[in-house]
Amino acid sequence: MMIVKRYDRNEYEKHIRKAVRIKLIESVNEMKTLSGSEPWFVHNHFELSRPEDNIDFSGLEVAVCYASASLFLHVAILNKDSKEAVSSPIAQQICQRIKSQLKSHPSITDRSLEQLQFFVERRKGFQSLLEGQTDFQPLGEMVAEFTFDNDKRSAQMYKAERTSRKTMRESDKMTNEKLRTYLARAQSMAFWFIKELNYTDEYERNSDGRGFFHYFVYELKSHGCPFKFLGYATLFRPDNSGDSARISHFMLAPQYTHNGLGSEVLNAIYGDLLKDDSIKQIKIEKPAKQFKFVRDFTDCGNLLKMSEFSGTKVMATNTITEDMTEAAKKLKLEMSQYKRAFEIIRLFFYGEERNVPKNLLSKYSENEWSHCWRVVERLKKYVRTPPSSPEKQLPKPVQEEAQISLTERSSASVPKMAKLNKCTRRISITKHKDHFQRQTRSHTGGKPYKCHQCPYVSRGMSDLKRHTRIHTDEKPFKCNQCSYSNAQSSNLKLHIRIHTGEKPFKCNQCSFASSSISDWKRHMRTHTGEKPYKCNLCSYSSAQSSNLKVHMRIHTDEKTFKCNQCSFISSCISDLNRHTRTHTDEKPFKCNQCSYSSGQSSNLKLHMRIHTALMNPHTMLSQFSIISGGKCTFAALVRFLASVNAHVTLKGGCIIADVGTQSTLVWFLASVNAHVPFHMIAVDARIITQSAFD
């Protein structure tokens, strides 16, 4: 055995992680390569108390091979050059090390150890097992199905029960024996991936006969063996709390856990347990770090679809209400877990870390805070983004979507489990992976996807595809009611609301309603006075990011918008559009009460005040500061008379319409004089000076 005299832990781990690979083998041909998964905690399996006893893996490659369905194990020591099995003292030492490590683990018994294939010499035997597993059939009954990779791949979950009753039928004994054997092989595989394992063997002697439940997850294959093992979970019913079920172990191969299948599997287990009326509570036995994330994300998602955990109700209280407690009981969550989920949901509705109160921040350790916020960031991808501060309430449609966007509510007494990798339409695991990678790059700043036609770069492939449509002018999303088409599906959804007249986002302080949540947010800032977009060169701030962009051109003296008919240039495209109408004489803004039209929307707004004055002259005079505190300000009236009389004389017509008679003006004056004796009509000077009657 090679000895490492100068032990460097980091370097040692690096060697092992380069050398060891673990792979689910579906056919004999796949044994020729080592393109498998990297074990998460492999250094724990080989490290002894004395550093000098550790093996240097720098010159070896170790293949830990599992048959994809039957889970028989084979350890091959491969030379990097020849890729052939090596029979040597070093190979034997490593095999013995694996054997001793598995044997020392509380989940592996001597009996199950004998049934595992450990040695290089048994390569041919392992090959025969591979060829024979085409007839493999999962134990138990199928309880759930999953699809992923754009529904091109599918998986199934099987449930098998193992009991420890003293009086059993012969068939039950055979089932138990098969389960014990198969579970031992599954646990030996989990040994490579999970650092903190919690098994049920210690409870077996004290079980009162309720037994154990094992869930096995397989991907369905069209060639070779039809089942590929992905992971499993173990539950038990302890005698000291007969009304509860405890999840003692949950393992999926890392590539599937990272891609979101873990949430679906856990939800499927929840759904199966909710059908059992004898189970009142679902508990978890000391979950490992990775499983905590899956569990918190799943539980928060299921609670968010319930009306008791809407944004309005959660932000209105600092404690869990009785209604929330009763709602959580429907999911059979233990009290400590749904309290934990409630705190994460509170963070979710705060929206951003800067909005979280300091007294709430003090409750979290640094590691716990990091974990909770990771869950929040993941939830934001499946539930529409909450407001940035608790004082702002979600508009009604968003509240409803926050409750049911993960899945439609069930009318049954037992709520339907949310499919957490769905958001109204299914998100495949492939896309989900892109979302996860893009979120990671938002922290690291990486933008690996580049456009070949311009300098554009992005964090995700989906963003690049959207951008590419700018160059190709591709607009795949088309309206089925008109000729409208767009490059983005979100824009098509907004357009459809033009046809339906739907304006779901309503202001709770005025009559404003909009079909777009972004317009609603902009409008709400007119009430709150919030101006979050600030210039870093001066004191300017604005409620809209577009205004800030235009303002920044003042500092840069940038004027990119040019008229193609004259020398006019501007820093704002809206100014260019207004200017262009002077060439075309276009007047798109028309009054719906008379024939007036204008090239500017602001002029139309001023014009509409005249019609408003006809309906309520007192309101008009008060608005124009001629009436103050209920009394007419005569001096202000006199100042307006000169400009009004000059305008009427110049126009020689009616101030209400483009062409009119003096009698119309006289009628209007009479209505005002009835309220303000001895005074004439006063019209806002701004209407005259801004050329409302062009």
Can you give 647-691 as a three-state secondary structure string? Answer: HHHHHCCCCCCCCCCHHHHHHHHHHHHCCCCCCCCCCCHHHHHCC
Range of weakest confidence among 13-17, 535-539, 647-651: 647-651
The model's pLDDT over 357-371, given as tens digits with 9 standing for 90+, comes to 776 777 777 777 788
What is the C-alpha to C-alpha distance for residues 18 and 61, in angstroms, rounded to an integer? 8
Whether residue 640 is predicted with pLDDT greater than 80 in this model: the reply is: no
Could you write out the three-class secondary structure of 155-168? EEEEEEEECCCCCC
Could you write out the three-class secondary structure of 209-239? CCCEEEEEEEEECCCCCCEEEEEEEEEECCH
> Which of 93, 120, 135 is the C-terminal boundary of a domain?
135
Q: What is the pLDDT of residue 81?
A: 47
- Sign of the torsion angle spanned by Cα atoms 356, 359, 360, 366: positive
pLDDT band at 209 (very low <50, low <70, confident <90, very high): very low
- 502 domain residue, yes or no: yes
Q: What is the pLDDT of residue 84?
A: 45
- Whether residues 159 and 282 share a domain: the answer is yes
CB atoms closer than 10 angstroms to residue 116? 19
Q: What is the pLDDT of residue 45?
A: 58
Whether residue 76 is predicted with pLDDT greater than 80 in this model: the reply is: no
- Whether residues 164 and 301 share a domain: the answer is no
- 578 domain residue, yes or no: yes
Range of weakest confidence among 41-50, 303-312, 384-393: 384-393
- 596 domain residue, yes or no: no
- 600 domain residue, yes or no: no
Whether residue 385 is predicted with pLDDT greater than 90 in this model: the reply is: no
What is the domain-level CATH number for residue 511?
3.30.160.60
pLDDT band at 211 (very low <50, low <70, confident <90, very high): low
- Whether residues 211 and 305 share a domain: the answer is no
In the block, which residue shows the tokens 């933008």? Answer: 447
Give every CB contact of residue 298 below 8 A, 6+ residues apart in sequence.
263, 266, 267, 270, 418, 420
- Whether residues 316 and 428 share a domain: the answer is yes
Token pair for residue 190?
Answer: 């989990």
What one-letter code names the amino acid at 402?
A
What is the C-alpha to C-alpha distance for residues 284 and 249, in angstroms, rounded to an integer? 8
In the block, which residue shows the tokens 């303002």? Answer: 551
Phi, psi angles (nearest 5°) of residue 237:
-115, 90
Q: What is the pLDDT of residue 690?
A: 30
Q: What is the pLDDT of residue 384?
A: 55
Q: Enumerate helices (H) and strands (E) in the chain, giving the number of each.
A: 27, 25
When pLDDT is averaged across residues 290-300 and rounded to a whole number, the result is: 82
pLDDT band at 439 (very low <50, low <70, confident <90, very high): low
- Whether residues 124 and 145 share a domain: the answer is no
Q: What is the pLDDT of residue 183?
A: 83
Q: Read out DSSP for 245-298? A: EEEEEEEE-HHHHHTTHHHHHHHHHHHHHHT-TT--EEEESS--HHHHHHHHHH
Q: How far from chain centre, in Å, is Cα 339? A: 22
What one-letter code names the amino acid at 187?
Q
Q: How far from chain centre, in Å, is Cα 390? A: 20
When pLDDT is averaged across residues 69-75 and rounded to a whole number, the result is: 82
Q: What is the pLDDT of residue 290?
A: 73
- 597 domain residue, yes or no: no
Range of weakest confidence among 158-172, 348-362, 467-481, 543-557: 158-172
Q: What is the pLDDT of residue 277?
A: 81
- Whether residues 142 and 280 share a domain: the answer is yes
Give every CB contact of residue 536 below 8 A, 6+ residues apart in sequence.
none
Nearest to 349 by CA among 317, 375, 316, 388: 388
When pLDDT is averaged across residues 304-323 and rounded to a whole number, the result is: 81
Q: What is the pLDDT of residue 505?
A: 86
Q: What is the pLDDT of residue 240?
A: 54
Phi, psi angles (nearest 5°) of residue 8:
-120, 110
Q: What is the pLDDT of residue 140?
A: 87
For the full predicted model, state whether its pTM sits above 0.85.
no
Whether residue 617 is predicted with pLDDT greater than 80 in this model: the reply is: no
31 or 628, higher pLDDT? 31
Q: What is the pLDDT of residue 169?
A: 60
Q: What is the pLDDT of residue 658?
A: 39
pLDDT band at 40 (very low <50, low <70, confident <90, very high): low
- 673 domain residue, yes or no: yes
- Sign of the torsion angle spanned by Cα atoms 492, 498, 504, 506: positive
Q: What is the pLDDT of residue 680?
A: 40
Q: What is the pLDDT of residue 34?
A: 63
In the block, which residue shows the tokens 């150890």? Answer: 113
- Whether residues 257 and 298 share a domain: the answer is no
10 or 609, higher pLDDT? 609
Q: What is the pLDDT of residue 94?
A: 61
CB atoms closer than 10 angstroms to residue 300? 28
- Whether residues 566 and 468 share a domain: the answer is no
Q: How many independent structural domains does the chain possess? A: 6
Count of positions (residues) in the chain: 694
- Whether residues 279 and 295 share a domain: the answer is no
What is the domain-level CATH number for residue 13?
3.90.360
- Whether residues 370 and 255 share a domain: the answer is no
Q: What is the pLDDT of residue 18?
A: 66
CB atoms closer than 10 angstroms to residue 611? 14
Q: What is the pLDDT of residue 206?
A: 44
Q: What is the pLDDT of residue 216?
A: 93
Whether residue 586 is predicted with pLDDT greater than 80 in this model: the reply is: yes
> Which of 286, 312, 331 is the C-terminal boundary of a domain?
286
- Torsion, Cα 626 627 628 629, to 10 degrees, reads 180
Token pair for residue 205?
Answer: 């002697």
- 658 domain residue, yes or no: yes
What is the C-alpha to C-alpha distance for residues 390 and 602, in angstroms, rounded to an integer? 35
> Which of 263, 286, 309 is the C-terminal boundary of a domain?
286
- Whether residues 522 and 575 share a domain: the answer is no
Whether residue 459 is predicted with pLDDT greater than 50 in this model: the reply is: yes
What one-letter code names the amino acid at 468?
T
Parallel/antiparallel/unpaired status of strands 244-252 and 281-284: parallel
Where is 22: in which H helix or E strand? strand 20-25
Range of the domain at 365: 288-437
- 602 domain residue, yes or no: no
Q: What is the pLDDT of residue 157?
A: 92
Nearest to 256 by CA among 218, 199, 301, 297: 218
633 or 379, higher pLDDT? 379
DSSP-derived letter for residue 533 is E
- Whether residues 199 and 248 share a domain: the answer is yes
197 or 148, higher pLDDT? 148
Range of weakest confidence among 23-37, 159-173, 237-251, 365-379: 159-173
Whether residue 158 is predicted with pLDDT greater than 90 in this model: the reply is: yes
Q: Which residues pair with 249 in a beta bridge?
A: 234
When pLDDT is averaged across residues 292-310 and rounded to a whole number, the result is: 84
Tell me the percentage of the chain whose pLDDT exceeds 90.
1
Could you write out the three-class secondary structure of 552-602? HHHHHCCCCEECCCCCCEECCHHHHHHHHHHHHCCCCEECCCCCCEECCHH
Range of weakest confidence among 27-41, 484-498, 668-682: 668-682
> Are the C-beta atoms of 33 and 70 separated by less than 8 Å?
no
User: With left for phi above 0 and alpha for psi between -120 and 50, is residue 678 left, alpha or beta?
Assistant: left
Give every CB contact of residue 679 below 8 A, 6+ residues apart in sequence.
632, 634, 637, 672, 673
What is the average pLDDT score of the chain?
69
- Torsion, Cα 481 486 488 491, to 10 degrees, reads -60
Whether residue 454 is predicted with pLDDT greater than 80 in this model: the reply is: yes
E-state strands within 39-197:
61-67, 73-78, 141-148, 153-162
Whether residue 343 is predicted with pLDDT greater than 80 in this model: the reply is: yes
Q: What is the pLDDT of residue 244?
A: 79
Q: Read out DSSP for 438-478? A: HHHHHHH----EE-SSSS-EESSHHHHHHHHHHHHT---EE
631 or 254, higher pLDDT? 254
Give every CB contact of residue 37 below 8 A, 6+ residues apart in sequence.
21, 22, 23, 253, 254, 255
Q: What is the pLDDT of residue 395?
A: 38
